[in-house]
Structure 1
Amino acid sequence: MAAQEAAGGGTGSGTGPMAERCAFFVQRKRRFCKMVPAPGRRFCGEHGQHEKENDRKRIPCPLDPKHTVYEDQLQKHLKKCNSREKPKPVYFVQDINAGVKDVAEIPADQVTLSSLPKEELENLIVKLKKASHGLEFDLKEQVLSHQALQEALNDPKNGDSAFKHLKQQASILGNMEKLHLLGPGRCFVEFGAGRGKLSHWVDIALQDVENIQFLLVERATTRFKVDGKHKRRDSIFERLQVDIQHLCLNKVPILEKKKLPVVGIGKHLCGAATDLALRCLVESYATCCNEENEEPAPKRTKNEAEGASYSSNDDDNERNKDDFKPVAGIVIALCCHHKCDWTHYVGREFFRSVGLGPVEFHYFQRMSSWATCGMRGTITKASTDEESEDDTTNTEEHDQAYSKTETASDALQGLLTVEERKEIGSLCKFLIDHGRIRYLQHRGYKAALQYYTDSSVSLENVLLTAVPETTT
């Protein structure tokens, strides 16, 4: 136990370090480090400063203090450290999708929701109900499936966790098929792609279709990727490691070259990421593509014009140009309204039209978590499922955020019942989503919200869909 006391200062876990493993006790994880030390050493390189006979000093890395480095090798380490600033990709444009920062920002000393005086909370609820009056609150159920996932759905080897995710993915693909978005000559952009499972199933669904591309947008370096395991050679998968806030699709080489119609997809796109993705699609990509399509065609000689006037290929090109829609469709499973941000929110115009602003939005997005009041056990189970399927840190954040919000709402039990809070929370989520629908409608899209799976499968069971309005 001396190793514990010297290395980690912890009380110990009752057992010593594993054989041939580092003797450092990691207090945060309440276990010994599992790294393998060099022959003859008790500690790994990361914890080597605890070797009594080692006179080399280790210091925190200045780029990321979560790890250490030998002081005499600092300069060498800085050149290869994974935390070093890397050259920005060509499609990185600072804050291109961030939105305009509002002059009426929320005060830094904003009172927490649980500390609001009773009168102010009641006033917020009155404003919420007034703004929601007249809106179609009952969403249509669109729980669909797709043949591409039937074999996996019927595989007994899949447990409850995998089954829940497969049902969601199947319904997303079913809704895409109903909107005629599963077709050739398109680029599918998966926002918040994680391991890339949703794109994987889209690719399976389009196994007999040619000329399709996939762009998987994920700011984190995600492990266990599935997009590199596809056997088809005619479908191209490319990962874009960038925050959606800074992604300019027009500068992605494949889109810059081909100007393909894009289908934006996402499964549980968290909070503000949904707004960033919508702006990336309908403001950044669609606007630039339309501007380029409106450029006058180059002049042709008289002979060229006469020779081309009866060309079927020329007619097809003109027809394709007229029919070209930069964004063919959007299908996003919404998530985590409590993590939305007024600066990035695309529905600010709608909020202002009903007499609301950044302060009300701040409280509404916090109150949105009330929709899951009394479901702590279900949330924990859902988080575990999500974690085992996608191996991302998002689920831990979901769980923590919900727990904190529930703790805050517990202080309001004398004012509102659990059922009242659930109703208000659902109304807040709907109002935020309705602002997104209005945003898309004002930009020429037929947009809708629907339940795409049962709440027993996922508490976040609302799907946002949008396709360009057809003109007659």
Structure 2
Amino acid sequence: IQTSQSSPDLGRGAPVPGRCAYFVERKKRFCKMIPAPGRRFCGEHGQQEEENDRKRIPCPLDPKHTVYEDQLQKHLQKCNSRAKPKPVYFVQDINAGLKDVAEIPEKEVPICSLSKEKLDNLIITLKKASTGLELHLKEQVLSHQALQEALNDPKNGESAFKHLKQQASILGNMEKLHLLGPGRCFVEFGAGRGKLSHWVDVALQNAENVQFLLVERATTRFKVDGKHKRRDSVFERLQVDIQHLCLNKVPILEKKKLPLVGIGKHLCGAATDLALRCLVESYTTCCDGESQEPAPKRSRTDKTEVASNNSADNESNKDDCKPVAGIVIALCCHHKCDWTHYVGREFFKSVGLGPVEFNYFQRMSSWATCGMRETTTKASTSDESEDQSNDMEEHEQTCSKTESGSDTLQGILTVEERKEIGHLCKLLIDHGRIEYLQQHGYKAALQYYTEPAVSLENVLLTAVPSLSLI
């Protein structure tokens, strides 16, 4: 069988019977689309047969695919790349953060191009700014009975087992903070297939009045949230970038104002900052309906409310009823953080740092895992059936290799030194997030929630309102 090429290369083989005979050079395989009966090529590659002299042209909405010219107008009305109406909860850049473009730094030179003197000065600045920070995080590797059966199932491979251990520890930490209970709305950011929400639902199978909002900007295959049969739990997907998500406008939250619990497993880089601002600012300040002014006033008095007299009791009660009951997010990919969205800018400024230093430190943070990336890649034989199956491993493998600069920096820093500096960069960035949450009336903490052998990205950020019992 001849392909679309005039003389196919040896080794291409033949197309699968019943499939398109066009050889896709970019993918080094035949097209897998099914052609019409009696045709050798699918509609996309039908121009190869010059049938009826009909001309195919690139789609003006997405030139990656083509369309018959005489059917262009009809195609534009149903093309998947057409502009879709924005959902009611879409508010442009509501969680974006920095609006002053003058403060956004220009692209810095690669770290591997820095002189030894410049690199030494950056490391000295990093260590000085980190003085006084808790360098050794508490280990809080927990589990939850909801996952015990899955953890003991021999059918699960190594990759699935690692994900299950992480999910079990996240649920264990949620339970310790009293966040697993009835009458809650769990918002999973970067939900992917929704497996974390799935396990929360399993853990709450006897609880009433439970809702789940799964926030994911990409269309996701093999979702698990549609398989839940329990009548008293509601699953709803919000296909939107966290940057533009206004929780206050989500219909299910307008109708039933349940306390929120924000969760996430490996919420990548700047997405963590967007999620924190989404929960702490854009939702909290609007949650009281028409009265939006009291929220900032309450946050300014948070530190003094413990010692307040009876005249401030009403204000204290309002703080006890914060609409966000807790936040539990497994952090990931600090090298993808962005000064524009970063919530800890005030902390950085307080220790004499700015956008230039932040840009260097967020890229140097990839050094924390650069020494182990090769073994992680070799050991990772992921299972296609596993949720977000390669997310964690892929994040670690795709840490900017140019920034790890292992070859260039070999004569300047050892692997262990780079690893230590990378961890320090991560810690500094995360401490800015902790201070941000504290300033908004939350008791926040960082802890190791799983072993490095399970995930190199093993830090969990937790936060609950300061006046809550822990």
- Paired residue for 2:105? 106
- Paired residue for 1:140? 138
Q: Report the more deviating stretch, 215-224 or 30-39.
A: 30-39
The 1-side partners of 2:394 and 2:58 are apart by 26
The 2-side partners of 1:93 and 1:408 are apart by 39
1:52 Cα offset (Å):
4.0
The 2-side partners of 1:194 and 1:206 are apart by 21
The 2-side partners of 1:387 and 1:135 are apart by 41
Residue from 83, 86, 93 that aligns with 2:84: 86
Given that 1:330 and 1:467 are in contact with CA atoms closer than 8 Å, whether structure 2 keeps it comes out as yes
- Paired residue for 1:409? 406
- Paired residue for 1:364? 361
The 1-side partners of 2:196 and 2:256 are apart by 23
Amino acid at match of 1:93: V
Q: 1:283 to 1:81 in 2, by over 3 A?
A: same
- Paired residue for 2:297? none
1:403 Cα offset (Å):
5.6
Q: 1:271 to 1:382 in 2, by over 3 A?
A: farther
Given that 1:78 and 1:84 are in contact with CA atoms closer than 8 Å, whether structure 2 keeps it comes out as yes
Given that 2:320 and 2:465 are in contact with CA atoms closer than 8 Å, whether structure 1 keeps it comes out as no
Given that 1:370 and 1:421 are in contact with CA atoms closer than 8 Å, whether structure 2 keeps it comes out as yes
Matched residue SS, 1:129: helix
User: TM-score when scaled to structure 1?
Assistant: 0.90
- Paired residue for 1:305? none
- Paired residue for 1:301? none
1:350 Cα offset (Å):
0.5
Given that 1:4 and 1:11 are in contact with CA atoms closer than 8 Å, whether structure 2 keeps it comes out as no
- Paired residue for 2:420? 423
Runs (5+) with no aligned partner, structure 2? 295-313
Per-residue CA shift, 1:123-178, capped at 9, x if unaligned?
11111010011110100111000010111111111111111111100000000000
- Paired residue for 2:299? none
Amino acid at match of 1:378: T
Q: Report the more deviating stretch, 45-54 or 360-369.
A: 45-54
- Is 1:3 equivalent to 2:12 in the alignment? no
1:5 Cα offset (Å):
2.6
- Paired residue for 2:351? 354
1:294 Cα offset (Å):
8.0
Q: 1:405 to 1:371 in 2, by over 3 A?
A: farther
Amino acid at match of 1:235: S
Amino acid at match of 2:359: H
- Paired residue for 1:126? 124
The 2-side partners of 1:283 and 1:382 are apart by 41
Q: How does 1:157-196 map to 2 (within 5 A)?
A: 157-196=155-194
- Paired residue for 1:325? 322
Amino acid at match of 2:254: E
Given that 2:2 and 2:8 are in contact with CA atoms closer than 8 Å, whether structure 1 keeps it comes out as no
Q: How does 1:194-209 map to 2 (within 5 A)?
A: 194-209=192-207
Residue from 48, 55, 58 that aligns with 1:57: 55
Q: 1:326 to 1:4 in 2, by over 3 A?
A: same
User: TM-score when scaled to structure 2?
Assistant: 0.90
1:390 Cα offset (Å):
2.8
Per-residue CA shift, 1:43-75, capped at 9, x if unaligned?
111111212445222222111122211111111
Per-residue CA shift, 1:188-226, capped at 9, x if unaligned?
000000100000000000000000110000001111111
The 2-side partners of 1:274 and 1:70 are apart by 44
Matched residue SS, 2:72: helix
Q: 1:319 to 1:275 in 2, by over 3 A?
A: closer
Q: 1:386 to 1:443 in 2, by over 3 A?
A: farther
Q: 1:246 to 1:382 in 2, by over 3 A?
A: farther
Matched residue SS, 1:263: strand
The 1-side partners of 2:358 and 2:383 are apart by 28
- Paired residue for 2:213? 215
Residue from 438, 461, 466 that aligns with 1:469: 466
The 1-side partners of 2:33 and 2:10 are apart by 18
1:106 Cα offset (Å):
1.4
Q: Report the more deviating stretch, 392-401 or 140-149.
A: 392-401
1:404 Cα offset (Å):
2.2
The 1-side partners of 2:419 and 2:335 are apart by 14
The 2-side partners of 1:117 and 1:291 are apart by 55
1:387 Cα offset (Å):
6.3
1:382 Cα offset (Å):
7.0
Q: How does 1:4-23 map to 2 (within 5 A)?
A: 5-6=5-6, 11=9, 13-23=11-21
Given that 2:95 and 2:242 are in contact with CA atoms closer than 8 Å, whether structure 1 keeps it comes out as yes
Q: 1:329 to 1:10 in 2, by over 3 A?
A: farther
Identity of aligned residues (%): 80
1:413 Cα offset (Å):
0.8
Amino acid at match of 1:106: P
Given that 1:3 and 1:25 are in contact with CA atoms closer than 8 Å, whether structure 2 keeps it comes out as yes
The 1-side partners of 2:91 and 2:211 are apart by 22
1:324 Cα offset (Å):
1.7
Given that 1:369 and 1:405 are in contact with CA atoms closer than 8 Å, whether structure 2 keeps it comes out as no
Matched residue SS, 1:331: strand
Aligned alpha-carbon RMSD (Å): 2.4
Given that 2:186 and 2:260 are in contact with CA atoms closer than 8 Å, whether structure 1 keeps it comes out as yes
The 1-side partners of 2:319 and 2:361 are apart by 42
Given that 1:293 and 1:321 are in contact with CA atoms closer than 8 Å, whether structure 2 keeps it comes out as no
Q: 1:205 to 1:121 in 2, by over 3 A?
A: same
Q: 1:450 to 1:11 in 2, by over 3 A?
A: farther
The 2-side partners of 1:360 and 1:322 are apart by 36
The 1-side partners of 2:239 and 2:378 are apart by 30
Q: 1:161 to 1:17 in 2, by over 3 A?
A: same
Given that 2:160 and 2:389 are in contact with CA atoms closer than 8 Å, whether structure 1 keeps it comes out as no
Matched residue SS, 1:277: helix
Q: Report the more deviating stretch, 287-296 or 40-49.
A: 287-296
Q: 1:295 to 1:420 in 2, by over 3 A?
A: closer
The 2-side partners of 1:403 and 1:128 are apart by 20
- Is 1:31 equivalent to 2:29 in the alignment? yes
The 1-side partners of 2:148 and 2:241 are apart by 34
Given that 1:161 and 1:388 are in contact with CA atoms closer than 8 Å, whether structure 2 keeps it comes out as no
Amino acid at match of 1:22: C
Q: 1:13 to 1:469 in 2, by over 3 A?
A: farther
Q: Report the more deviating stretch, 45-54 or 186-195.
A: 45-54
Q: Report the more deviating stretch, 230-239 or 253-262.
A: 253-262
